[in-house]
């Protein structure tokens, strides 16, 4: 079963980037190493502060667009509902499992 991830990255100054992928670990690697050029690279958005997972590609893309259309304070509320300290959620992977699907968030 294929999974699709909607995720939000933040910079140290809390600039936000929202994206969608079918391989979150790989996509984070691409963002963090600068392989992927664009907004996230330019603003140094590398900390995973929020994610959701679904098995429906269309739903994932729709949700990404929905979040991107929100005002900043609504995105912050979404993040802080599950991650009030804005910790890098991917740090758990090295402690528990390298597979982000084991840490699924329902959003």
CATH architecture of 4-103: 3-Layer(aba) Sandwich (3.40)
Q: How far apart are CA 7 and CA 90, in angstroms?
A: 11
13-59 pLDDT per residue, tens: 999 999 999 999 999 999 999 888 899 889 999 999 999 999 999 99
The predicted-structure confidence for 2-11, as pLDDT tens digits, reads as follows 999 999 999 9
pTM to 2 decimal places: 0.85
33 to each of 30, 41, 51, 91, 103, how far by Cα in Å? 5, 9, 20, 16, 23
């Amino acid at each position: 079963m294929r999974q699709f991830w909607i995720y939000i990255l933040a910079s140290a100054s809390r600039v936000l980037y929202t994206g969608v992928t079918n391989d979150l670990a790989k996509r984070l690697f691409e963002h963090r190493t600068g392989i992927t050029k664009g907004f996230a690279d330019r603003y140094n958005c590398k900390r995973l502060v929020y994610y959701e997972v679904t098995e429906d590609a269309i739903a994932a893309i729709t949700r990404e667009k929905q979040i991107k259309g929100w005002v900043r304070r609504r995105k912050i509320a979404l993040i802080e509902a599950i991650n009030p300290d804005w910790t890098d959620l991917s740090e758990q992977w090295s402690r528990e499992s390298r597979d982000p699907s084991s840490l699924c968030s329902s959003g």
